[in-house]
Amino acid sequence: MKQLKRFDKRTFEALLENAAKSERRRANLNVHDSYEDVVQRLFIAMMPDSYVRPHRHCQMHKWEFFMVLEGELDLIFFDDKGTVSERLTLSSNGDCSGVEIPPNVWHATVCHAPVVFMEVKQGPYEVTDDKGFAAWAPTEGSNDVSTFLASLKTATVGQNMAVDVMDSV
């Protein structure tokens, strides 16, 4: 018989510590046993200065589910040209704590304080085609990221976020 997997406050505290030490300013703890599993389940801790480049999951069966467990994050949704179509706050103590995103929807996450959330998505995980990144947003590590991230944090519905991407690192 398999062992129970337990996830408690200490688990999330350690995950937040790992995120704080990480160059990407986020850390994950996979619950699934393999990238081949048909359902991928993971906890993610994210710091406010972590950049998640706007992306979408292009495969028509690749939905994505988020549930905030500690703290709060904003999911920002875009149209194909980078205009904000919706902004949704997920909070462990708020009106909405979870959402399922259908395939092929542009989105990004931002937070203003450390957050822990769970992500569930259709597997298997294939690193080469898991995400399609927005050409109108800077690549992770480029010099434009801090300015773009700051603008994402205050972006409003109807605002176009597309930038001329120089991708200078």
Two structure tokens written together for 48: 């406010």
Dihedral angle of Cα 81, 85, 86, 87, to the nearest 10 degrees: 40
Print pLDDT tens along the chain (169 aa). 778 889 999 999 999 999 999 999 999 999 998 888 888 999 999 999 999 999 998 888 889 999 999 999 999 999 999 999 999 999 999 999 999 999 999 999 999 999 999 999 987 776 656 678 999 999 999 999 999 999 999 999 999 999 876 554 4
Angle at 23 between CA 18 and CA 29, to 5 degrees: 35
Q: How many CB atoms lie within 10 A of CB 127?
A: 7
Considering the entire predicted model, what is its pTM?
A: 0.90
CB 106 within 8 A of CB 58: no
- Residue type for position 159: Q
Between CA 147 and CA 115 the distance in angstroms is: 21
- DSSP labels for 7-58? --HHHHHHHHHHHHHSTTSEEEEE-SS-TTSSEEEEEEEE-TT-----EE--
DSSP 152: H
For domain 9-153, give the CATH number.
Answer: 2.60.120.10
